Amino acid sequence: MSQNVTQKLIASHLVSGKMEIGAEIGLKIDQTLTQDATGTLVMLQFEAMGLPRVKTELSAQYIDHNLIQADFRNPDDHLFLRSACQKYGVWYSRPGNGVSHPVHMERFGIPGKTLVGSDSHTPAAGSLGMLALGAGGLEVALAMAGEPLYLQMPQIMGVRLINKLPDWVSAKDVVLEMLRRFDVDGGRNKIIEYFGPGLDTLTAMDRHVIANMGTELGATTTVFPSDEAVYTFLKQQGRADDWVELKADEGATYDLVEEIDLAQVVPLIAKPSSPGNVVPVREVEGNEIYQVYIGSSANPGLRDFAIPAMVVAGRQAHDRISFDVNPTSRQILENLAETGLLADLVRAGARIHQAGCNGCIGMGQAPATGRISLRTVPRNFAGRSGTKEDAVYLCSPETAVASALSGKITDPRDLDMPYPHFAEPDEIKINQAMLMPPLPESKHIKLEKGPNIKPLPLFDPLPDNLEGKALIVVGDDVSTDAIMPAGAKILPYRSNIPEISKFVFTQLDEDYSSRAWAHQAQGHFVVAGENYGQGSSREHAAIAPRYLGLRAVIAKSFARIHWQNLINFGVVPLTFVDSADYIHILEGDILALPDVVQAIRSGKQVELINQTKGETYRVEHALSDRQVEILLAGGQINLFRKRLAI
């Protein structure tokens, strides 16, 4: 039977279940990726499992998010992660070496392999013909322990690409076109696989841009074939021997099919404050801007910096603009310097920052209040930039650099110059000096824990009855950034759950944490609209509310990773059978789930009682038998420890 690339990847790693839409499948994981904003918890969780070393083919830990050393907390955590890598057999990418996704692609990505990462943009590696999935940290820790990754078999959506992109239009505009068509939830429960003759015009790094932001569509992951473009990339990286051809069979089909004529794509831009709020640049051109930011995991390739450098050569950025350039890896920074392109950027007024996530995750580079910031990053959720009243627009490097020169949003096609086509060099400077390989023997290694690293909280099993207040009621598309904000003030507490829990929901309700703490012993509920928990994979958005007493979330629908994170920490995720019931629950209503343990064990539907109003609603769960056991045990770690003790 003919198979597409996704089916081949899943079939070759399937350890349980069947490839039937909606069925739970278990996948063997070859590689794992962690970064410092989530990796500290991963390493603490791996320590709690009591295993001596990872069991994957390769695991890598990157220091790319929390690079600002304003006090002891980030440096202490870097030392902890270094010691954990040495102890458990993990590659360690030092601070300043670069963003996890492009560095992993440069040095470790292999076609045909599976990768799971504690970062929601891990699907970027799908650009190499990998099955790359973002997940909560606990699932990554389990994969490091040799456990399968479980998920519900999604639909496979084939996107056929034809023709070639015009000048001044690039891969970022392609994924923005997908977001214009499908918004931030159009990819939920889907794997997006790109195919068709248009692929021949896209480099591996172009594909990285598209695969990276498939996450913003809510997609489970994005997949590309491993073809000549992937071979060319791996050869350039000195890893031609890692190439394996992986293409869809003749006659392969998809559950859904979409087509994009690349020749018809125009410069696009996502307005505040959602990646799905996409319009042509023409609709907003002329608006005065404050900042232009080039870099991030969403536009990490050498060409994404080379094109802007070639555009600004001999010119100056507008005097009002903060022109921020964030090299995505030290290797790219070195090659920019080697070619003279870095000098062109510096002369044009660019502020060159260290290789890392930086302002994308709110670590510095915050824009002025209410002023427009054009960024090549993947997300523009409100406040994520570090400025509460921000106005972040997402765009391509071409649109960004054209706007940097004019001081206003500018369609790059209006620049008075020919398009500077950039050809990737056959050979580049390879830099892996800041990657530390695993030690061959590590029994003697001690974990280095600074004062900010606190033990993981232990949670009790699910009680027979749940009763408590609906402490907060939120709307549609609430992101994990809104639940557990990022930024330089908060993320340094990522290894300190009691402290970071003080910031839960602060962007929506500054009093939530104090109210939750007052109800911690009894427990409370959160009520939400569609696509609850979209965005980042950070499990702090589940574990911190659970620490404050959250026992159940009742929503119209959930984003995949956050739904699993809630289960992993013993929070009951339920959806309304009739979504109209959502409007009947108000903040402060007393809710109850009587006999919830028996109800969850015996079927999919559960009764939710609103004691304040005297109403009963039908809610349901989509848990597998395996997930039911995790939930009832109070979380994944409890169950894992119990299993090891038997």
pLDDT of residue 98: 96
In a domain, 445, yes or no: no
pLDDT of residue 645: 63
Co-location of 481 and 629 in the same domain: yes
Tallying the residues shown for the chain, one arrives at 646
Domain boundary among 264, 285, 319: 264
CB 548 within 8 A of CB 501: yes
If you average pLDDT over every residue of the chain, what do you get?
Answer: 95
pLDDT of residue 612: 98
pLDDT digits (tens, 9 = 90+) for 412-453: 999 999 999 999 999 999 989 999 999 998 889 999 999 989
Co-location of 540 and 633 in the same domain: yes
Confidence label for 508 from pLDDT (cuts 50, 70 and 90):
very high
Co-location of 294 and 219 in the same domain: no
The maximal CA–CA distance of the chain, rounded, in angstroms, is: 72
SS3 at position 576: strand
Helix 330-339 with 302-312: angle, nearest 10 deg: 40
Using CB atoms within 10 Å of the CB of residue 292, give its burial: 0 to 12 exposed, 13 to 18 middle, 19+ buried. buried
Co-location of 210 and 274 in the same domain: no
Stretch 369-398: mean pLDDT: 94
In a domain, 454, yes or no: no
Co-location of 525 and 476 in the same domain: yes
% of the chain with per-residue pLDDT over 90:
88
Please give the Cα distance from 135 to 554 (Å, whole number): 21
- For the cut 80, the answer to whether the pLDDT of residue 641 exceeds it is no
Co-location of 142 and 183 in the same domain: yes
Pick the residue with more confidence: 399 or 491? 399
Co-location of 206 and 218 in the same domain: yes
Report which residue type is found at 374. L
Confidence label for 536 from pLDDT (cuts 50, 70 and 90):
confident
Co-location of 590 and 638 in the same domain: yes
Please give the Cα distance from 344 to 323 (Å, whole number): 13
pLDDT of residue 334: 96
Those residues whose C-beta lies under 8 Å from the C-beta of residue 483, and which sit 6 or more positions away, are 504, 505, 533, 541, 545
Confidence label for 15 from pLDDT (cuts 50, 70 and 90):
very high
Report which residue type is found at 33. L
Number of domains comprising the chain: 3
In a domain, 303, yes or no: yes
Please give the Cα distance from 533 to 524 (Å, whole number): 18
Co-location of 200 and 216 in the same domain: yes
Please give the Cα distance from 545 to 402 (Å, whole number): 43
Domain boundary among 412, 436, 457: 412
**What CATH number corresponds to the domain at position 137?**
3.30.499.10
Please give the Cα distance from 576 to 615 (Å, whole number): 14
In a domain, 514, yes or no: yes
Give the range of the structural domain holding residue 489, as residue numbers without chain letter: 466-645
**What CATH number corresponds to the domain at position 514?**
3.20.19.10
CB 35 within 8 A of CB 64: yes
Residue bearing tokens 């802007």: 308
Report which residue type is found at 454. K
In a domain, 531, yes or no: yes
In a domain, 420, yes or no: no
Strand duo 605-610 + 391-394: pairing: unpaired
Q: What letter would DSSP give residue 147?
A: P
pLDDT of residue 646: 46
Strand duo 372-375 + 291-295: pairing: parallel
Co-location of 178 and 286 in the same domain: no
Nearest to 553 by CA among 630, 483, 626: 483
**What does pTM read for this prediction?**
0.93
Nearest to 85 by CA among 493, 434, 506, 512: 434
Q: What letter would DSSP give residue 255?
A: S
Nearest to 32 by CA among 153, 152, 135, 127: 135
How would DSSP label each residue in 17-77?
Answer: S-S-TT-EEEE---EEEEEHHHHHHHHHHHHHHT-SS--SSEEEEE--S----SSSHHHHH
Report in angstroms the alpha-carbon separations of 76 from 63, 90, 389, 443.
Answer: 12, 18, 31, 22
In a domain, 449, yes or no: no
% of the chain with per-residue pLDDT over 70:
100
Region for residue 459 given its phi and psi (left: phi exceeds 0; alpha: psi -120 to 50; beta: otherwise): beta
Buried b (16+ CB within 10 A) or exposed e, 330-352: bbbbbbbeebebbebbeebbbeb
SS3 at position 550: strand
Co-location of 354 and 487 in the same domain: no
Domain boundary among 233, 264, 295: 264
pLDDT of residue 330: 95
SS3 at position 12: coil
Report which residue type is found at 76. D
Stretch 234-245: mean pLDDT: 98
Can you say how many angstroms the Cα of residue 359 is from the centroid of all Cα atoms in its chain?
A: 15
End-to-end CA distance of the chain: 43
Q: Tokens standing for 117? A: 């990462």
Vertex 471 angle, CA 469 and 474, to 5°: 130
Co-location of 256 and 273 in the same domain: no
- For the cut 90, the answer to whether the pLDDT of residue 204 exceeds it is yes
β-bridge mates for residue 609, sequence order: 592, 616
CB 572 within 8 A of CB 608: no
- For the cut 80, the answer to whether the pLDDT of residue 144 exceeds it is yes
pLDDT of residue 221: 98
CB 117 within 8 A of CB 315: no
Pick the residue with more confidence: 45 or 406? 406
DSSP H or E segment with residue 337: helix 330-339
- For the cut 70, the answer to whether the pLDDT of residue 600 exceeds it is yes
In a domain, 436, yes or no: no
